[in-house]
Structure 1
Amino acid sequence: MPERLTPLAVCALALLAERPMHPYEIAQLLRARGQDQDVKLRIPSLYHAIERLERDGLIEVSGVDREGNRPERTTYRLLKAGRDAMERQVIVWLQAPRAEFPVLPVAVGEAHFLTRAEVERVLAERRDAVARERAAVRVFQEAALDKGVPRRMLLGKEFTLHRLDAEPRVGRLSPVRSRERGP
């Protein structure tokens, strides 16, 4: 039993809960659903995660097939232990007020090493990037809803939009006035 599942492993288990599939298909679906924006998706990392899930008894091989000259594809299916582990990990993440260590608070906290002009320029670029990302997420979300994807399947995107809505405030940070300390 794994101590902790990675976000990529949880996404893979969630897709295998839909049906058995091979890792390449998992990667394609993660990209098609925009989840590659939420997890670090690298093919070698995905294959490593699949190997670990199999080793830990969370998934198993359900078949091996070959189409034409293509290489063999191993298809995996989710086991009950895998579904249970995925659900436990999701609960842990949902309960934690801060499951990971985002870098933005550190960057903002140490921005005093830069000139004010540099900070303002970089934060303006960040605001523009956030606006572009927000627009792209909104387009993806609307397209998915138009295709009949249930809203509950898009809650991660909804969360991303809320997070992005909070981002412009970062650009309006004002320098904290230092307090003189008395003797």
Structure 2
Amino acid sequence: MSTPTRSSPLALTVLALLHFKPLHPYGIQRLIKQWGKDQVVNVGQRASLYRTIDRLLAAGLIAVRETGRDQQYPERTVYEVTDAGRATAREWLAQMLAEPKQEFPEFPAALSHLLMLTPEELLGVLGQRVKALEETVAELGASLAEEERHGLPRVTMLETEYLKVVTTAELNWLRSVTEDLRAGRLEWTYDSLVSFVRE
């Protein structure tokens, strides 16, 4: 069977978790949460997980191990990774690690249109973001400390380390921007920008 033409963080995560043991979708979802993968993988609605599983199954990257029924739960299908799935997961992983990808998150897109706000309005909304990021950095630091206390090897914490470093860098940059706004070093008026665009 042909492999999917497109990888995704969620598809890679499903294949990676099935490397450890066969699981049903609820077990996959629970491990994503328990292992903190929800910090880096957007599971979203449960339907997105089932769509991903269906896609991997159709491509022959996973297979049905068994279907069981328990009196307490509805019928559950347990999946296992196939040899093709193991090989594909390793290819996807190597590619995602080696090749920077042009992604389009919301924040840079919003920054490209901040001319619609006044400096005072921008200072207000960026101040809210600074507070939110400060909380996130503190939570990530606490998560790293907790994992270290449990004696987990560093390799299991690299994604949390990365998120903390990147979030801290954004926080520091935002603090410098808000300081420039407060000091009047970063200012504009709508009329001056409109005339600039018309030229």
User: TM-score, normalised to structure 2's length?
Assistant: 0.82
Equivalent residue runs for 1:104-143 within 5 Å: 104-143=107-146
Change (3 A) 1:71 1:153: same
Q: Which residue is equivalent to 1:40?
A: 42
The one of 19, 22, 27 aligned to 2:21: 19
Moved >3 Å (runs of 4+): 174-178
Q: Using a 3 Å threshold, how does the CA distance of structure 1 residues 62 and 133 change in structure 2: closer, same or farther?
A: same
Match of 2:160 in 1: 157
Shift of 1:89: 1.6
What is the deviation of 1:18? 0.9
Once the two structures are superposed, what CA deviation does each residue of 1:80-102 show, in whole Å capped at 9, x if it has no partner?
A: 21122122222222223334222
Aligned to 1:83: 86
How many residue pairs get aligned? The number is 180
Cα deviation 1:50-105 (Å, max 9, x = unaligned):
11101000000111122223111111111121122122222222223334222222
Which residue type is aligned with residue 93 of structure 1? M
* Contact map agreement 1:93 1:99 (CA 8 A) in 2: no
List runs of 5+ in structure 2 lacking aligned partners: 181-185
1:22-47 deviation digits (Å, cap 9, x = unpaired): 11011011111221121211211001
Distance 1:73 1:147, change over 3 A: farther
Q: Distance between the aligned counterparts of 1:89 and 1:176, measured in 2?
A: 45
Q: Return 5+ residue gaps in structure 1 as ranges.
A: none
Compute the RMSD of aligned alpha carbons. Answer: 2.1
Cα deviation 1:103-151 (Å, max 9, x = unaligned): 2222122111101111111111111111111111222222223233322
Seen in structure 2, the aligned counterparts of structure 1 residues 65 and 150 have a Cα distance that, compared at 3 Å, is: farther
Q: 1:34 touches 1:140 (CA, 8 Å); kept in 2?
A: no
Q: More displaced, 13-22 or 145-154? A: 145-154
Structure with higher Rg: it is 2
SS in 1 for 2:73: coil
Contact 2:62-2:81 within 8 A present in 1 as well: yes
User: Shift of the alpha carbon at 1:20?
Assistant: 0.7
1:172 aligned onto 2:176: yes
The one-letter code matched in structure 2 to 1:124 is G
SS in structure 2 at match of 1:76: strand
Q: TM-score, normalised on structure 1? A: 0.89
Identity %: 34
